[in-house]
């Protein structure tokens, strides 16, 4: 056997195996780095949301404290349903 035949018969498969193991380890390392990084979170509107929720809670409390508020319905609920009657055949 010549040197190149032995190299291609033994060396190339070993090089492929080592390359596959190295690629697999790099892939695992990248996944681990992605999991360790904190996820970005948009906090630019947090103050506005807290104020909105506080004002909505205040409105609910104000409506609940009124005695007649629970008896009255909204304008849509007070309107009578209109009936459409088809005349003719």
Query: What is the tens place of the pLDDT at every residue in 26-49?
Result: 888 877 776 676 777 888 899 999
What percentage of the chain reaches a pLDDT higher than 90?
30
Which regions of the chain are under pLDDT 50? none
Residue 40 lies in a domain: no
* pTM, full prediction: 0.35
Counted domains in the chain = 1
Distances (CA, A) of 70 to 32, 51, 79, 81: 56, 26, 17, 22
Residue 72 lies in a domain: no
What per-residue confidence (pLDDT) applies to 49? 94
What per-residue confidence (pLDDT) applies to 24? 93
Residue 42 lies in a domain: no
Residue 74 lies in a domain: no
What per-residue confidence (pLDDT) applies to 63? 83
Residue 11 lies in a domain: yes
Residue 1 lies in a domain: yes
Tokens in use for 32? 């681990």
What per-residue confidence (pLDDT) applies to 64? 82
Domain interval for residue 17 = 1-35
- Helix ranges (DSSP H) in the chain: 3-6, 12-36, 46-65, 75-78
């Amino acid at each position: 056997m010549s040197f190149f035949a032995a190299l291609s018969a033994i060396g190339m498969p070993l090089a492929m195996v080592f390359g596959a193991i190295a690629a697999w380890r790099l892939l695992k390392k990248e996944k681990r780095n992605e999991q360790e990084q904190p996820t970005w979170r948009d906090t630019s509107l947090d103050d506005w949301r807290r104020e909105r929720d506080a004002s909505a809670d205040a409105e609910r409390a104000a409506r609940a404290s009124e005695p007649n508020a629970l008896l009255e319905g909204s304008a849509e609920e007070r309107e009578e349903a209109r009936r459409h009657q088809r005349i003719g055949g």
